[in-house]
Amino acid sequence: RPLRLPVSLASTRYDVVIGSDLISRAGALLAPVLPRKAAIIITDETVGALYLNRLEEALAQTGIATRSLIVPPGERSKNIDTYAGLVDSILKEGVERRTSIIALGGGVVGDLAGFVASTTLRGLPFVQIPTTLLSQVDSSVGGKTGINSRWGKNLIGAFHQPLCVLADVSALATLPRRELMAGYAEIVKAGLIGDPELFAWCEKNGAALLDQDPETLAEAVRQACAFKARVVAADEREEQKTDGRALLNLGHTFGHALEAELGYDGRLLHGEAVSIGLTLAFAVSVRLGACPQADLERVTRHLEGLNMPAHIRDLPYSFKVDDLMSHMLKDKKMQDGKLSFVLAHGIGQAFTTRDVPAQTVRDALVADG
């Protein structure tokens, strides 16, 4: 039986339904929440080839009429042209205001389809069916949608909460192990930010999770979504300057610098960059005397034990510290040589600060490379 995790926000409430074989049961699960029995499915070619027929048939079983739009897989589809093409096909065929948009795929499809839903006719109802671990534990919950600009990632977007999220852990069976590990990094991140029990759970169950045990996957998705839902509920539209949703960026400043340096060309997955970013955030915290060395060691030991990238030197690419620093300075306003960062007092105790000396960050990068 699927598990239901309620997400209660100021603006709305919805369920994240977590379990096995949910795509085959999508008709019964979605019929009660869709405003009318019509939906437009947006997916990518890879996920479409694997799961689109199954979803269309499941929806047809409860009389939900669908049409489907398919984009190429990968981050490159999160652009203005693909977005414009989708909106154009929807409008060309005509669309009723209460027709839902269903995102079937990973975070790329979720962000793109969500942005289509948020803007077409000033907002169509939206459902997420995330099919990567990253999208099940992170991107499908919280309502951020958007696309990339040539000036940077996720610069065009909107908040648009879904009516419902169906996290079908059976769909993860076809996900490459590297993608699974990348999603796992975001679960570890949730534990490190504010849920020490989740991190301890990861230490015990991480190996079984990466071996695709369905019960373990479902439990991880439940815990990570519950954590994210709590953070989002407290700061739905990222208005708090400190703590709140900003904490979800633990490890991401470093991660984004590594990703940007490789030009987002797919050599390094976002979650792999985050995995390294998490140890770097703890390393900086230790250098500043904010966090015990033992906690940094626990984080590193966990990631290394699962063969996750934990240090810059684990990657088969070389980086110049100056280049990484300039990427970080670009998305941060540096004041008096100090940077703002998410750091940690220990496992499960992240905090935001605007007081990190650039030199300490540089030293941590040099030591990690």
Binding residues vs ligand NAD (CB under 6 A): 44, 46-47, 50, 73-75, 78, 105-109, 111, 131-132, 134-135, 138-139, 142, 144, 154, 171-172, 174-175, 179, 270
DSSP type of residue 120: G
Contact partners, residue 121, CB within 8 Å, separation at least 6 = 95, 97
131 is in an annotated binding site: yes
Catalytic hit among 25, 160, 245, 327: 245
270 is in an annotated binding site: yes
CB of 175 to ligand NAD, least distance (A): 4
204 is in an annotated binding site: no
255 is in an annotated binding site: no
Question: Nearer Cβ to ligand NAD, position 30 or 231?
Answer: 231
Contact predicate 232/143, CB 8 Å? yes
Catalytic hit among 78, 160, 270, 287: 270
Question: Nearer Cβ to ligand NAD, position 212 or 349?
Answer: 212
Kindly state the tokens that stand for 23: 């795509």
Contact partners, residue 360, CB within 8 Å, separation at least 6 = 284, 287, 288
CB of 171 to ligand NAD, least distance (A): 4
Rounded CA gap, 99 and 125, in Å?
Answer: 7
Catalytic hit among 25, 78, 144, 287: 144
CB of 284 to ligand NAD, least distance (A): 22
Question: Nearer Cβ to ligand NAD, position 78 or 298?
Answer: 78
CB of 165 to ligand NAD, least distance (A): 12
216 is in an annotated binding site: no
Contact partners, residue 20, CB within 8 Å, separation at least 6 = 2, 168, 169, 170, 214, 218
Indicate the burial class of 135 (C-beta count within 10 angstroms; 0-12, 13-18, 19 or more): buried
Catalytic hit among 78, 252, 302, 327: 252
Contact predicate 316/267, CB 8 Å? no
Question: Nearer Cβ to ligand NAD, position 52 or 124?
Answer: 52
Residue 311 annotated to the active site: no
Residue 122 annotated to the active site: yes
Question: Nearer Cβ to ligand NAD, position 177 or 330?
Answer: 177
Residue 245 annotated to the active site: yes
Which CA distances in Å does 229 have to 9, 46, 200, 342, 357? 8, 29, 20, 19, 32
Catalytic hit among 179, 186, 236, 272: 186
CB of 266 to ligand NAD, least distance (A): 9
Question: Nearer Cβ to ligand NAD, position 73 or 194?
Answer: 73
Contact predicate 266/176, CB 8 Å? no
Question: Which of 119, 7, 78 has the alpha carbon at shortest distance from 270?
Answer: 78
302 is in an annotated binding site: no
Region label for 9, one of left (φ > 0), alpha (ψ between -120 and 50) or beta (otherwise): beta
CB of 46 to ligand NAD, least distance (A): 3
Which CA distances in Å does 54 have to 23, 124, 137? 7, 23, 23
Residue 160 annotated to the active site: no
Contact predicate 222/2, CB 8 Å? no
List residues forming the annotated binding site: 107-111, 131-132, 144, 153, 186, 252, 270
Q: Catalytic amino acids?
A: 122, 144, 186, 228, 238, 245, 249, 252, 256, 270
List residues forming the annotated binding site for NAD(+): 107-111, 131-132, 144, 153
